[in-house]
Structures are given as structure tokens and as C-alpha cells.
Amino acid sequence: MTAAGLSAALASKEVSAAEVTQAHLDRIAAVDGRVHAFLHVAADSALEQAATIDHRRRAGEPLSPLAGVPVAVKDVFTTVGLPTTCGSRILEGWHPPYDATIVQRLKQAGAVILGKTNMDEFAMGSSTENSAYGPSRNPWDLDRIPGGSSGGSSAAVAAYEAPLAIGTDTGGSIRQPAAVCGIVGTKPTYGGSSRYGVVAFASSLDTPGPFGRTVLDAALLHEAMSGYDPMDSTSIDAPVPPVVAAAREADVSGMRIGVVTELSGEGYQSGVLSRFAEAVELLESLGAKVTEVSCPHFRYALPAYYLIAPSECSSNLARFDAMRYGLRAGDDGTRDAEEVMALTREQGFGAEVKRRIILGTYALSSGYYDAYYGKAQQVRTLIIRDFDAAFGQVDVLVSPSTPTTAFGIGERADDPMAMYLADLCTIPSDLAGNAAISVPCGLAPEDGLPVGLQVMAPALADDRMYRVAAAAEAAFTQRWSHPLLAEAKGL
């Protein structure tokens, strides 16, 4: 059942929050042994929360739409009472003393937090294979990756373990997993959702966002979790764009849609390209005007990202030094603080994290800064200008969400460059800070695996892309005559 459906059923008291929560806990128990979406299932506290909601509803209290609806939370958000590991050994067992703002908002909305989901360590990766706790698996095919870094959240929703989930998107970590799992995932406008309590990977790129099985579900969660937060200096003080209303309108007639020339070609799986082309045709048949738009600097988005993100993360992850919390290794009384720090970080961090920290340290070093980090920030400006020029011609831009369908577990695990290519389509929006969504647009004929359509809108025009995504979804659902996920063979 969709979150929207559950919300209605709960509101009309057809079903209780306790029943809904229990049903999901049962589902988790049944399948998560194979999917491994969750790192921590908070059964007791979830049932408690559900009971409270039921009590308040019986008392006639007005409740928000998500009251009693279960949500899974990526383990990068701090949660009081639940562990927060960020998929890393260095934070194993860490219980933060404060809730992320978004977690607070979910609690205030009455959403029931089912647990914390698996992720690539510190949000670095596209497959969850970088998790210190083992990868999550794609419900479509358990030998394949569910995407990353928010792979756990995506798999949980795709496997019906949760109707909704939250994740973070820095280079594509919500949209790519959503695409390969056949669900909807949004990267809101940067600054549109609070980063307070989101363990930082790349501060100027990290964007918390929603997963849902439908566009409307994602929109409902988007609205509930987003908005200005005075605890986050980069938070935008403006109303949340009317994404739910837009998702309901789902009308693209007269809208100008731009296909980004640079986001296709070599490296893109043919089935992905063909499904994408069909999606574009579909949108045209719905009344949109489609043109091709060139964003010439998008070719440099990947290298720019892999300079900016590691640079910021090399600094953000310096705090993990064994002194105040987390793992402490090698403190046998003979070693000094620096040695203990170095041993702890050696043991506590995985290979990808180490690679990025070293890369970032390099890019920021005196003598290299201008040519690497500095240059990347200039490329970023050029990409923003490309977007600005493009949005001067069209209302939204479209592309595939990721060049291929879900690849096999182990296939790219030790080939960082190959892994990075998964972010090719999603990275430009992270660098520019505008909004982007991935919505399923079919299965690739060659492997029967989901393909995602990415829709990008200007910053603070998130509603625009929800409108287009919803229109596409409605048309596809009609064409397929069933939700895409019904075809998932994995479980």
C-alpha cells in the first residue's frame, strides 16, 4: 500500500498505526535477512510511537498526514536512542545525544521510525558495498546492488519493508538507488531540507530527501521533512515549494522539456537509452514541448565532483580521531595521541573513505589547491551557468537517472573509476544545487531491470519536476496496467 493510501486508511481509522507498524515489522522479519536494508530495526520504539499515535487519534486530536505512517531512516541521520553508524566501524555503537532536525520533524508529524538503514560508509559510494556491515541487496535481483549510498533506504521501500524512507543525495545517492530499485527518489533543492544532524560527507552538496514507491508518496514526505532550519546556516528561508499539489496535478501540457545532449552516449546501456527515449516521447504525447539542450560543461561535472566532494570530506571526517566518541584503537598506554588517531582511522575507515580522504587532502594541499580544488570550483560555476542558460530555454531538463541498470554485487567493487560512473547523470544537479527527481520509466529489455527517468528543475522550483514526474508516472502506470514493482522477482 502506498503511504498516501495508508495515510487515508489511518485517518479513517480503517486500520490502526499499531497494525500498520506491526505489518511492516513482520515484513522486515520475513525478508530483511536476504535484503539487508536495515542496520537496526527499532521494533519496540516503533510500536510505542504507533501506540501513541493511535491514542491521540482516538482522542480526536488533529494529526498530520504522515501520522502513523512508517518511515525508514538512513543511518547518516542522528537519532536519539537509536545507534548511528553511517555504515562505518568508526561509529559502531555510537548513540548520538541529539536528533537530526529532519528526524525531529518526522517525529512531530507522527511518522513511525522503523529503524536505520544501510548505506555506503559515510555516504561514499553507489552500491552499499562500501558499508562496513555488508551490502544491501536489490529486491529485483538479490545478487545485484540496490544503488548507493542510500541503498538501504531504497531497498527497504522497494521490498515493501517501509512505505517511505529518507536518504541523502550528494552525487546522486538518492536518485541512483531509486532508479535501480524501480522507485521514486528526490534530491530537493540544496538548502531546502535541513542538514543539521546529517553526518557530513560533502557539506556544500549533501541534500537530505525522500524515497517513495510513488511520486505522490515522495512528495508527501518531501513536504513533511523540508523547510527552513535556523540550526543550518545554509538552509533557505523560503516556503517549501508546493510539491504535493504539483504531484496531484500531474499535467505537463505546454511545458517545455529539454533533453540534455551530454547525458547520453558512450557508457550508457542501450536498454536505459531506449526506455529513456520512450519516456521522452510519452511526455511529448502528453502535451510537452521537447527540445534538445546542450550543457557543454556537464562533461566536467564528474571530475569536478571528485575533487570538491573528497576535499570537503577530508576535512569533515577529521573529527573521527578516537578522542571524544567512536572507535579507539591501539591505546595500550605506550602510544601517543597521534599514533592512536592514525591506528583508529586505519582500522575504522574502509578503502573508499580512505581513498577520498587522501584525494581531498591532496586537492587542498598548498601548491595543488589552485589546479585542483580551485579549478573544480570554477568548473562548478560554469555548470551553474549551463543550467541557468538551459532553464532560460526550458522549464525542466530530463536525462536517464544513471547510465546502467543495477550491476552485480562485486562487479565494480574494486574499480573506483567504474563505480564513479554511476553518478554521471546525477552529479550536475548536486554541484548546482537545483532540484532533481528519479521516477521509474520501465524495465530494460535486456535484463528486465528498472530504468529511471531523471527530471531536473531550477532551485526552489521542486514542484515543477514533481508535476512532470507525476504525469509520466500516471501515463506509464496506465500503459503497464500495474505498478512496476509488481514485476520485481527478487523476493
Partner 1 sequence: MTTETLVPFAEATERYEPVIGLETHVELGTRTKMFCGCTTTFGAEPNSQVCPVCLGLPGSLPVVNRNAIDYTIRIGLALNCEIASWCRFARKNYFYPDMPKNFQISQYDEPLCTDGYLDVEVSGKIVRAGIERVHLEEDTGKSLHVGGATGRIHGAEYSLVDYNRAGIPLVEIVTRPVPGTGADAPVVARAYVTELRDLVRSLGVSDVRMEEGSLRCDVNVSLAPRGSAVWGTRTETKNVNSLRSVQRAVEFEIERQAAVLDAGGRVKQETRHFHEENGTTTAGRSKEEAQDYRYFPEPDLVPVAPPIEWVAQIKAALPEAPSKVRARLRDEWNVSAPEMDAIVNAGALDLVLQTVAAGASPADARKWWLGELARRANEAGTELAALAITPAQVARVAELVEAGSLNDRLARDVIDAVLAGEGDPDEIVEARGLAVVSDEGALAAAVDEAIAANPEVVAKIRDGKTQAAGVLVGAVMKATRGKADAARVRELILQRLT
Partner 2 sequence: MSITRDEVAHLARLSRIALSDAELDHLAPQLDQIITAVAQVQEVAAEGIPPTSHATGLTNVFRDDEPAPCLTPAEALGQAPAVEQQRFKVPRILGED
Binding site for partner 1 (CB under 8 A): 77-78, 84, 86, 91, 94, 96-98, 100, 195-200, 202-204, 230-234, 311-312, 314-315, 318-321, 323-325, 337-338, 341, 361, 364-366, 369, 373
Q: How many CB atoms lie within 10 A of CB 29?
A: 12
Indicate which residue of 7, 131, 136, 149 is catalytic: 149
Position among 47, 63, 277, 342 found at the interface with partner 2 (CB under 8 A): 342
Quote the least distance from Cβ 380 to partner 2, whole Å: 4
Do 274 and 371 contact (CB within 8 A), yes or no?
A: no
Do 77 and 83 contact (CB within 8 A), yes or no?
A: no
Quote the least distance from Cβ 400 to partner 2, whole Å: 22
Closest Cα to residue 117, out of 69, 171, 79? 79
Residue 233 exposed, middle or buried by CB count within 10 Å (0-12, 13-18, 19+): exposed
Sheet architecture: strand order including 256-260: 38-41, 112-117, 70-74, 164-169, 207-212, 184-187, 435-443, 450-457, 396-400, 256-260, 289-293
Residue 382 binding target from partner 1, partner 2, none, CB below 5 to 8 Å by type? partner 2
Quote the least distance from Cβ 121 to partner 2, whole Å: 14
Instruction: Please confirm, yes or no, whether 74 is among the known catalytic residues.
Output: yes
Q: Can residue 83 be called a binding residue for partner 2 (CB under 8 A)?
A: no
Residue 298 exposed, middle or buried by CB count within 10 Å (0-12, 13-18, 19+): buried
Indicate which residue of 7, 126, 154, 173 is catalytic: 173
Name the CA radius of gyration of the chain, rounded: 21
Quote the least distance from Cβ 434 to partner 2, whole Å: 8
User: For cell 558499508, what's the residue?
Assistant: 131
Instruction: Please confirm, yes or no, whether 187 is among the known catalytic residues.
Output: no
Q: How many CB atoms lie within 10 A of CB 326?
A: 19
Cα 388 to Cα 372: distance, rounded to the nearest angstrom: 24
Position among 230, 239, 287, 410 found at the interface with partner 2 (CB under 8 A): 230
Q: Can residue 273 be called a binding residue for partner 2 (CB under 8 A)?
A: no
Indicate which residue of 16, 74, 126, 438 is catalytic: 74
H-helix or E-strand containing 453? strand 450-457
Quote the least distance from Cβ 374 to partner 1, whole Å: 9
Q: Beta partners for 209?
A: 167
Q: Give the residue with the Cβ less far from partner 1, 181 or 376.
A: 376
Instruction: Please confirm, yes or no, whether 173 is among the known catalytic residues.
Output: yes
Residue 200 binding target from partner 2, partner 1, none, CB below 5 to 8 Å by type? partner 1
Q: Residue numbers of the site for partner 2 (CB under 8 A)?
A: 94-95, 97-98, 190-191, 204, 230, 233-234, 236, 297, 300, 303-304, 306-307, 314, 318, 321-326, 328, 331, 335-343, 345-346, 349, 351, 354-355, 357-359, 361-363, 365, 371-372, 374-382, 384, 416-417, 431-433, 459
Q: Give me the active site residues, please.
A: 74, 149, 173
